[in-house]
C-alpha cells in the first residue's frame, strides 16, 4: 500500500509517496510553504504538488505532520506559531476536498514518534519516548502502542518540561524548559553568551555559529564547547530520567539536527542517565539515535495514516 506523507514546515513543505510495508520513499518533492499567501493558497499548492507527484499512482490516504496544537479528530490546526493566521484552520478537510482522499493531521513531534514506531528505532516496540532536538525540542509518547496526547489532544510537550525554574527564558514564556537547554537555538545562545570569557574558542573561528559548530569543536576538546555539551547532557539526562520514571519506556529515541552530534552527545548522556535512574529502572531502556534522519518528517507523516487506520 502507498501513502502520502506531508511534512509541513514554516518555510518548506516536504511531500513523499511512501511504501507502507518497507518505509521506502518512492517519490518525494519539496516546495516553499509561502505562509504569507494565506492558508487556502498553501493548501491549494500542497494539493497541486500531491497530484503532480501521484500522477499515474494509486495511494490510500494522506498524513500531515504540522507544527502547533492540533485537533486531530477533525484535522484542525488550532494554533501554530509558524502560521499566525491559522487559528482553528481546517487543514485536513480543505485538503481532503481538493484531492478526494482521506487526510489525517497530527502534531509534527507526535508524528516523529509514530515514524520511529513504524519505520525507525522503535519498530516492534510498544513503549517509546521520542525527542526531536532542532530549533526547538519536540516530543512524543507511545504507551501500549497508543500515542499519549491527553484530554484535549495537546499533551506530550516534552520539550517544555521545566528542568530549572531559575533557568533561561524559553520561547514558550516559561523559564528553564528542556528546550531552553537542549535545542539548537539554546546551544548557539550559550556559546554567544560566553564569547567574552572564551574569545579564543574554536567555536568563534566560524562566521556562522551553529549547534554543529559547537559539537565539532567539542570533538577537538575545545573547553567552551565541552562546557556547553555537558550542560546539554545534564538537562537531557534530568528530563529523560523523569520520562523513564513516569512512562517506563523500552526505548528513548533522539532525532533532529542536534542528534547528528553522535557519540560525543550520546555516550555521556547514556552514562549520566544511568547514574540518575532508580535502581529498579536500570537496564529496562535504551537511548538511541534516530536512524530516519532527513526522511523523519515524511515517514512520520505517513505513519499517521497507519496509526489511525490501525494497519
Cα gap 85→196, rounded to integer Å: 41
Cα gap 86→203, rounded to integer Å: 38
Q: Domain residues of the chain, as ranges?
A: 2-114+295-308, 124-291
Q: For the chain, first and last CA: distance in Å?
A: 10
In this structure, are residues 214 and 264 in contact, taking their beta carbons and an 8 Å threshold? no
Alpha helices in 22-61 (DSSP H): 39-53
Q: Taking Cα atoms as reference points, which of 200, 287, 310 lies closest to residue 241? A: 287
Q: What residues does 254 pair with on adjacent strands? A: 131, 289
Span 20-31, average pLDDT: 94
What is the tens place of the pLDDT at every residue in 37-53?
Answer: 999 999 999 999 999 99
On average, the pLDDT of the chain sits at 95
Residues above pLDDT 70, as percent of the chain: 100
Span 196-207, average pLDDT: 96
Cα gap 125→250, rounded to integer Å: 7
- Asked if domains 2-114+295-308 and 124-291 share a fold, the reply is yes
Span 88-114, average pLDDT: 96
Span 25-29, average pLDDT: 96
Q: Taking Cα atoms as reference points, which of 192, 210, 63, 198 lies closest to residue 134? A: 210
Q: What is the pTM of this model?
A: 0.91
Alpha helices in the chain (DSSP H): 39-53, 91-99, 108-119, 179-182, 184-193, 211-218, 223-247, 263-276, 296-308
Q: Is the pLDDT of residue 310 over 80?
A: no
What is the tens place of the pLDDT at every residue in 116-160?
Answer: 999 999 999 999 999 999 989 999 999 999 999 998 888 899 999
pLDDT at 79 (0 to 100):
86
- For residue 311, name the pLDDT band (cuts at 50, 70, 90): low
CATH 3.30.70.3400 is the classification of domain 124-291: no
Q: Which CATH number fits domain 2-114+295-308: 3.30.70.890, 2.40.110.10, 3.40.640.10, 3.30.420.40?
A: 3.30.420.40
Return the ∠ at Cα 303 (arms to 253 and 251), rounded to 5°: 20
CB atoms within 10 A of CB 304: 29
- For residue 205, name the pLDDT band (cuts at 50, 70, 90): very high
Span 196-220, average pLDDT: 97
CB atoms within 10 A of CB 166: 7
Amino acid at each position: 500500500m502507498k501513502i502520502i506523507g506531508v511534512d509541513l514546515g514554516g518555510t518548506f513543505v516536504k511531500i513523499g509517496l511512501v511504501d507502507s510495508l518497507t518505509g521506502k520513499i518512492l517519490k518525494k518533492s519539496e516546495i516553499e510553504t509561502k505562509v504569507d499567501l494565506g492558508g487556502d493558497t498553501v493548501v491549494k499548492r500542497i494539493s497541486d504538488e500531491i497530484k503532480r507527484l501521484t500522477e499515474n499512482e494509486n495511494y490510500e490516504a494522506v498524513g500531515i505532520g504540522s507544527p502547533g496544537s492540533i485537533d486531530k479528530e477533525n484535522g484542525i490546526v488550532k494554533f501554530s506559531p509558524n502560521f499566525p493566521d491559522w487559528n482553528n484552520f481546517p487543514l485536513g478537510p480543505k485538503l481532503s476536498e481538493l484531492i478526494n482522499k482521506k487526510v489525517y493531521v497530527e502534531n509534527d513531534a507526535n508524528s516523529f514518534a509514530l515514524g520511529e514506531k513504524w519505520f525507525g528505532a522503535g519498530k516492534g516496540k510498544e513503549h517509546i519516548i521520542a525527542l526531536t532536538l532542532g530549533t526547538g525540542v519536540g516530543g512524543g509518547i507511545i504507551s501500549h502502542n497508543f500515542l499519549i496526547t491527553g484530554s484535549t489532544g495537546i499533551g506530550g510537550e516534552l520539550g517544555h518540561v521545566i528542568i530549572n525554574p531559575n533557568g533561561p527564558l524559553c520561547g514558550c514564556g516559561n523559564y528553564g524548559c528542556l528546550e531552553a537547554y537542549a535545542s539548537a537555538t539554546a546551544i548557539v545562545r550559550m556559546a554567544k553568551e560566553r564569547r567574552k570569557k572564551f574569545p579564543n574558542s574554536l567555536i568563534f573561528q566560524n562566521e556562522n555559529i551553529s549547534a554543529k559548530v559547537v559539537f565539532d569543536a567539542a570533538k577537538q576538546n575545545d573547553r567552551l564547547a565541552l562546557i556547553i555539551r555537558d550542560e546539554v547532557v545534564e538537562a537531557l539526562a534530568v528530563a529523560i530520567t523523569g520520562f523513564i520514571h513516569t512512562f517506563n519506556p523500552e526505548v528513548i529515541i533522539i532525532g533532529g539536527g542536534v542528534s547528528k552530534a553522535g557519540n560525543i552527545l550520546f555516550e555521556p548522556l547514556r552514562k549520566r542517565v544511568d547514574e540518575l535512574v532508580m535502581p529498579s529502572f536500570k537496564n529496562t531502556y535504551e537511548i538511541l539515535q534516530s536512524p530516519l534522519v532527513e526522511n523523519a518528517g515524511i515517514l512520520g507523516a505517513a505513519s499517521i495514516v497507519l496509526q489511525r487506520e490501525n494497519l
